[in-house]
Structure formats: C-alpha cells, structure tokens
Structure 1
Amino acid sequence: MVVPLDRERLLAAVERSPQAVTAHDREAWVGLFTVDASIEDPVGSRPHVGTAEIGRFYDTFIEPRDITFHRDLDIVFGTVVLRDLELEVAMGPAVTMHIPAYLRYDLREAHGEWRIAELRAYWELPAMMAQFLRTGSRAMSPALQMSRDLLVIQRLRGTAGFMSGFRRVGARHKRLVQTFLDALARGDKATAMRALAPSAATTLGDNDALDIAELAEQLYRAQWSKMNGSGPTVTVSLNSGHGRGIMFADVAWRGNTITKIRYFPA
C-alpha cells in the first residue's frame, strides 16, 4: 500500500483529469497520461493506446461534450485509484445523459510525477444508448454529430472498436454475482463457492490472495448499491460492517461461473 502522502498525490493526479475535461483543455488532459498509456472506455471496447490515439479519443468523446463528474467514492489501493461516480454528459443543448460508472486509474511515476498508465471505464454502453434514444427527436442532431465524429476521427476501425463495447455481460451474469454476494452476506460459504469456477482466483486488490472465508468475513451482511456489466466484468459497489468497497467479478461468457474476483476495500 502507498503511504498517506502518496495517497494524496495519487488522488491529486487523478483529479486533474476531470479538471482538464471541464476546462476543455486538450493539451493538459492528454498530458496526464504516460506515452504508452491505454484507455478502455467502455471496458469491452478496443483500447486507445499511445499519445496519438488518446488525443483522438479526446477529440471524439470529450471535446464535443460538457461532462460533469458526480463522485460518490474514491478508493486508493497501491497505485490504483478507483472512482465510483455518475457521469452527467451533455450531448447537446437538449440532451443530457446520466451514466452510472466506475473509473479505474492505474498510475505510474514518471519524471517525479504520477501519470495515468491505464484508464478503464466500467459503464454500460447499451443502457446509455437506450437512454439516449428515449429522448426521441431531440437525439437526432447529437446522434448525427457522434456518428460523424466516429467515422471522421476514429475511422472504420475505431468505430468498430467502440461498437465492440456493446458486447458485455448481461442479466444472467448479474444474477450469478448477486447470488454469490447474497451467500457471502449471510455467511453461506458453500453456496458462494458453487458460483466460482474451480480455477477462480479471489484477491484483495489485483494480487493479494484472499480465500473465500476471508472474503466472507469482509462482506458479512454486506449490501450492494450499484451493479453494472462491462465487457466480461460485473462491477459492484458494496457496504458492510467493515466499510465500503468495490468488487470486480469476471464471468465466463458461456456457462454460469465466476472466473475471477477482485475486491478493493475503501
């Protein structure tokens, strides 16, 4: 884990991202990333890798919009910062989207400063598009602009890469994760184990082994407040007697098992 001083530096480095987005400062925002950084937004879409692609990501998805970050929880674990939030995205004068999301920032120290080496955004592209279409005729103008920006800036390969974000875990996988969590919350380790693949790894953060008994102790009587599916991952915001946390559950596309659990306590 990082010392308290580094925690504040990591949070400050992450906070510069919404500041630059709000100011529409392209140079400042792109400059927050390492030269080999990647952005996967949403998780499940093709990542944007390197300074040039990150610049095109900004031009396509950030510059044309006004984005407000409504934060609920920040977690710092090692050099990872997790942010549980809602994104308020003004697509145009008459269309504003409200997108429940989790942002994961993996940071690396470069030239004495913390920079973002990887940004992953966990939100549901199909749900966002459904919300967008429900605005009816007001969606026409921003939809045309979005389509034009994708094709002109991202071109066909980038557009296809973004559209691959539509493939993500669905209701069946969420029910599986909810069954797993409900079992842990009541201390039923046997039922929780049945939801896991035989080779499933359970960790505190990304790397520290955490057996099912330890996880059950952490999540005893836990309640979840937000759950979404992005790519192969179900992400959940949790609150137990030990405090709040975020859990990432990777699931098998086929079958009905959880293949990996990562738990990040606040």
Structure 2
Amino acid sequence: MDKDEYFKVHVPKPFDFQFTPTVAGVFDDMVNRSVPLYGEIQRMIGELAAKHAQEHTFIYDLGCATGTSMIQAEKAVRQEVHFIGIDDSQAMLDKCRTKLQQAAFHHEYTLQVADLNHSVLVDQASVVILCLTLQFVRPINRERLLKQVFDGMITDGVIIIVEKVLAEDSNFNRDFIDFYYAMKRRHHYSDMENAQKREALENVLIPYKVSENIALLERAGFRKCEVFFKWYNFAGIIAKKTP
C-alpha cells in the first residue's frame, strides 16, 4: 500500500479534490488513515451484504473506488450473485481491477465508468453499497439517485450507506470535527496536510446530518432505516425495500 503524501507539499493555489491516478495510487492508505475504524466498517459492510444478498441477483457498489467494499462483501457472500462496481474515475477502476485479480475474486463482476450525478442503471439488485460516495454526489442529484436505486432493487433488498455526517445539534459539531482531526494527527497527518485537504474538499464533499440522509432514503421509498455504525462525524445506515 503506497503511503498517502498527496497534501504533504504546500500548494499555494487552492484546488478542488479529484480522484486522479495519483490519488488512486495512495487511496487505500488515505482512507485507512482518514476514516475512523475503516477496517471494521468494511467488515460490517461485508457482513450486512452477506445477510441480505439473494440468489441470482446483483450486488452494486456505487462509487466502488479501488474495490475494497467489493472484496470484503465477496469474502462473506455465499450466494450466487453478480457484482457491479461503478465509479466515475477510470484510474480508480483500473486500481480496482488489479486488486480484484490479486484477491482471486471468484464471483462474476463488471466494472463500469459512470457519473452518479447523471442517470445510473440499477436492475435486480439485492444489495447496493455507497461507501463514502453519496457525500460526493451534488445535493440536487442525491434524491434522484436514491430513487433510481430503490426502483432497481428487488423486494427485501437493502442499501448500505456510509457517510461523513454533520452533528444533529450544531453545538456538538465543532467538538466532533476537533476529535476527527485529532484522530488524523494520531495517524501522522500534519496540520498543513489536514488544512490543505479540508480546503480541497470544501466544495466537493458536502455532508448531511444522519436525519437528513434518512429523510432522503424515505422520500426515495425506503421505509425501514437503521443506523448500524456511528463515530462522531461518520455514520453507517442500512435501509430495506419492503413490499
């Protein structure tokens, strides 16, 4: 795993964060050091996917990045399913394909380049994963995307979402952010790296509250929603499509 030093050098002019080939090369180290309990989150995604996957259906990973969620789910899923990984970065998909081959991924799979801000085809899905993905979709497009997922999902299918979130009460928001950057410093990111990445993500990653994400899911048609993970300003939500 290549070490993430993407923001280690001072950048005089701010820029919007993009998933370039350079980012793809260090992405796994980046998320392991930047996302609290990332390994446990991925293990839980695999566990939940295995519980709800149905025979001869599709498991979608929207914003699949380098394929970590696909690999974790594939380790746990025993059903006969077809995995579909979708990402708008060809560099991330190239890294994903390499990792799937190295992991001896034995289920059938398809990788597709697509921008989730536009129309995306979901069909016969029993599980749809969006791990740290919805936060990068423009707010105006999020409800439409979740409705497309709902419409393309079979009965009793589930959507698994992991997001960076805002506190429900703004009084706690500053504390949670402070605790988050303290964690990043423990993982050997400097204050300059943290500041530069925060500025690069400012107009790209737009977090919602947990309640706002659940409201989006409910408007899309999901009636059963539950938080399965919470760490200060990160949360995991699972929702089921019921008859």
Q: TM-score, normalised by structure 1?
A: 0.28
Bigger-Rg structure (1/2): 1
Whose strand fraction is larger, Structure 1's or Structure 2's? 1
Give the number of the structure with larger relative contact order, counting CA–CA contacts within 8 Å between residues 6 or more apart: 2
